[in-house]
């Protein structure tokens, strides 16, 4: 399969996290916090009473929803990886890789450490009300009179946004991590970074779009070194590269790249992203094979 831009777009849509299941989880979360926090805080008459309500908040009742989301993310990533590998490994000389990939896809116990980390990070949502409450209370300590209804409304607005960011980020991270684990188990060392190609894509991630990245060489973007799909609110996906013939040349390759984003002075929130070290180098097929050919199956 030749990884042209149009093919990458199609694969990107297939490999994105399951937003439907995320929305179901957020529905359960919002319902829980409405009863456990907002409704109680509305009737609170002091900040001390708010503290007590927040201290008693827990997410135990959300554990079934966390498990459902975990299973959904694992199931979708498994299905899509299976379809992807089947399409790549169509030639007779690659059938052994297809059989090998199928053998590892459904061994959920191999991925338990990843899934347990995913569940743990989701349950950290329980700490959000306390963190946000500290920031909100500063306003009341500066002379603003306390009203439980106002406090509940502000907490609800901020908590929903922060919780959704966590859910979206964690889902994308686990999908990317599972893809890496599966690829490396069948000896695949590189992927193509693929963005959603819309106005919401960050400038730093746009620089990485269509770039080949080796798992052994994660890029650094805005002081955070990691792979595609593991940045906050990142919707990018890693598209596996099986062999050199799948690539469309010339191809860009990230080599110890470090990208930094800065705000433009007087630019009303506009930013500019640039490479401050390392490189994104364009290779012809001959030069690419000469330098990286031994890293492909």
Task: Answer positive or negative: Cα dihedral of 46, 49, 54, 58.
Answer: negative
Element (H, E) at 191: strand 190-194
Residues in CB range of 118: below 8 A, 6 or more apart: 70, 73, 170, 173, 174
**Cα Rg of the chain, angstroms:** 23
| pLDDT higher than threshold 80 for residue 210 | yes
pLDDT class for 212, splitting at 50, 70, 90? very high
pLDDT class for 190, splitting at 50, 70, 90? very high
pLDDT class for 99, splitting at 50, 70, 90? low
Residues in CB range of 218: below 8 A, 6 or more apart: 225, 226, 227
**Span 22-48, mean pLDDT?**
90
Distance in angstroms between the alpha carbons of the first and the last residue of the chain: 15
C-beta separation of 208 from 166 below 8 A: no
What is the spatial distance between Cα 34 and Cα 214, in angstroms, rounded to a whole number?
45
| pLDDT higher than threshold 80 for residue 89 | no
C-beta separation of 282 from 252 below 8 A: yes
Strands 237-241 and 190-194: antiparallel
Nearest to 1, CA basis, from 177, 244, 260: 244
Lowest mean pLDDT among 101-105, 218-222, 228-232: 101-105
pLDDT class for 136, splitting at 50, 70, 90? confident
* Phi/psi at 270 (5° precision): -75, 150
C-beta separation of 256 from 278 below 8 A: yes
What's the confidence (pLDDT) of residue 195? 94
**What average pLDDT is seen over the chain?**
86
Encode pLDDT of 43-85 as tens digits: 988 888 989 999 998 888 888 998 889 888 888 888 888 777 7
**Alpha helices per DSSP H over 142-246:** 148-185, 203-206
pTM of the model: 0.86
Report the C-alpha dihedral over residues 225, 227, 232, 236, rounded to 10 degrees. Answer: 150
Nearest to 238, CA basis, from 3, 19, 53: 3
Residues in CB range of 75: below 8 A, 6 or more apart: none
What is the spatial distance between Cα 153 and Cα 156, in angstroms, rounded to a whole number?
5
Copy the structure tokens of residue 288.
Answer: 């690419």
């Amino acid at each position: 399969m030749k990884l042209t831009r149009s093919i990458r777009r199609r694969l990107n849509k297939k490999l994105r996290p399951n937003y439907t299941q995320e929305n179901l989880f957020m529905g359960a979360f919002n319902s829980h916090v409405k009863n456990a926090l907002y409704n109680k805080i509305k009737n609170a008459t002091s900040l001390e009473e708010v503290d007590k309500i927040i201290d008693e908040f827990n997410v135990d009742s959300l554990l079934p929803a966390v498990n459902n989301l975990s299973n959904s993310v694992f199931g979708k990533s498994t299905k899509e990886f299976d379809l992807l590998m089947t399409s790549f490994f169509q030639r007779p000389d690659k059938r052994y890789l297809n059989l090998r990939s199928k053998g590892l896809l459904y061994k959920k116990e191999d991925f338990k450490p990843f899934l347990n980390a995913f569940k743990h990070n989701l349950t950290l949502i329980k700490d959000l009300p306390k963190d946000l409450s500290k920031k909100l209370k500063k306003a009341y300590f500066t002379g603003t009179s306390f009203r439980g209804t106002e406090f509940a409304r502000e907490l609800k607005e901020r908590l929903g946004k922060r919780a959704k960011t966590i859910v979206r980020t964690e889902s994308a991270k686990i999908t990317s991590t599972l893809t890496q684990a599966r690829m490396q188990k069948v000896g695949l060392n590189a992927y193509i970074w693929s963005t959603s190609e819309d106005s919401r894509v960050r400038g730093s991630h746009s620089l990485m779009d269509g770039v080949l990245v080796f798992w052994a060489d994660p890029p650094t973007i805005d002081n955070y070194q990691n792979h595609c799909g593991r940045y906050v609110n990142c919707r990018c996906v890693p598209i596996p590269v099986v062999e050199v013939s799948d690539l469309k040349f010339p191809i860009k390759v990230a080599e110890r790249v470090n990208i930094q984003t800065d705000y433009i002075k007087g630019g009303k929130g506009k930013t500019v992203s640039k490479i401050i070290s390392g490189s994104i180098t364009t290779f012809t097929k001959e030069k690419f094979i000469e330098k990286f050919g031994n890293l492909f199956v």
